Amino acid sequence: MFTATTLSIIDTKNVRFDTVLTNQGNDYNSSSGVFTCRIAGLYWFSASITKSYTDNDGSTYCYIMINDSNKMFMWHYEQNVLHALFSMTASGGFHLNRGDRVQVGNCADPGFLYSGGMESFFSGFLNKPDV
């Protein structure tokens, strides 16, 4: 089980969450933003990304990814809205094998993402290990 917050942009492929609140088993790496599976089984992941306000229209999106493959889509489109923050959230259950990697990434226009505090998070837990 892990929960991390305080989003940092690495590049368009990967964002990380620097402030680790829980990291039972140390499977989440806050330096890379990647969760690496040690125990095969059914997992639940959730991510929420906050989009910052801009002076222009704008949209952005990110994915929850497994082994560099897009799995869950988070998207926000903004039109003529100033001085506000918007959240994009995705959650889902997945079967993982040992060594599978889960991260948030493949973001469009990551400069629109808000990284000012604990408004964004990435979290996951093992629901049922393989027998």
The Cβ-side half-sphere exposure at 99, using a 13 Å CA radius, reads: 0
Supply the pTM of this predicted model. Answer: 0.86
The pLDDT assigned to 55 comes to 46
Q: Strands, DSSP E only, in the chain?
A: 2-9, 14-23, 28-29, 34-36, 41-51, 58-66, 69-78, 86-96, 101-108, 121-129
**All domains of the chain, ordered by start, with CATH?**
2-129 (2.60.120.40)
Judged against a pLDDT cut of 80, whether residue 30 lies above it is answered with yes
Residues 6+ apart with CB under 8 A from 45: 35, 64, 72, 91, 92, 93, 94, 102, 122, 123, 124
Cβ–Cβ contacts within 10 Å for residue 61, how many?
A: 19
Distance CA 112, CA 96 (A): 31
- At 21 the pLDDT is 96
Average per-residue pLDDT for the chain: 84
Percent of the chain with pLDDT over 90: 50
